[in-house]
Amino acid sequence: MIGVFGGSGFYELLADARSVDLPTPYGPPSAPPMVGSVEGTEVAFIARHGTNHEFPPHLIPYRANLWAMRELGVGRIIAPTAVGSIYPDFAPGQFVIPDQLIDRTWGRAHTFFEGPETHHIPFADPYCPDLRCKAAAAVRAVVGVVHEGATTVVVQGPRFSTRAESAAFADTGWHLLNMTQLPEAALARELGICYANIAVVTDYDVGVPGEVSPVTHDEVLHRFGEALDTLRDILFQLAPDADGARSLPCDCAAGAPT
């Protein structure tokens, strides 16, 4: 089964979906999982922020969400998110398939292994290479242009960056800002689930002096909302391919405990 985490405003994917009541050892997921099909492929969907956007990034029950996906039989997760750009070539409205992550969060439950059993997963490449390739192909098929390869710095939120923070991130060579990719991606890896992000650029973070004002939450929701129909088309293009044979080597499950 393919799993999809909905980003900001992306609360409905499957018109024929059925709700599943699925408790987990970590409490309930953000929202009841919805299970349906896309072009004959079974898909499970969870609204990452809750049905009414009631969970800010630092309070999302990430472990419950990932555990629920595994219990449903999900082996590959597609994770659309809204992102801010700190790289001029990645403009609002464009799509990016990142390949690296930087963690600047704190206080979140980052692992399923808190003792007495411990486990250290390999995480050099946080996204599945095969699923990334297929996601890029799906975006290209729908919108024609996709940026492949970028580093996303995941900040704590819910506030946006200061100008100094944004400048420091950009000077380091990072490209995108997000608030939810971690610990989500790492928890997927702990469970041996392939994971890839489709990033929708909604803003230029602190803005472009003299041209663009600093980002607001309303702007993020508006821009992401404008992309929903396109994202739906991308996911309908991607889901059957993601469920098929791998075209690139994948060892996402290699480090997961049995």
- Main-chain dihedrals φ then ψ at residue 188, nearest 5 degrees: -60, -40
Strands 95-97 and 34-38, sheet pairing: unpaired
Which is the catalytic residue, given 130, 205, 241, 243? 205
Strands 100-104 and 41-47, sheet pairing: unpaired
Cα distance between residue 248 and residue 76, in whole Å: 14
Closest residue by Cα to residue 44 from 84, 101, 83, 1: 1
205 catalytic residue (yes or no):
yes
Q: Is 45 left (phi over 0), alpha (psi -120 to 50) or beta?
A: beta
Which is the catalytic residue, given 103, 130, 203, 243? 203
203 catalytic residue (yes or no):
yes
Contact 248, 129 (CB under 8 A): yes
CA dihedral sign of residues 141, 176, 251, 112: negative
Cα distance between residue 133 and residue 248, in whole Å: 8
Per-residue DSSP letter, 25: T
Residues carrying an active site annotation: 203, 205
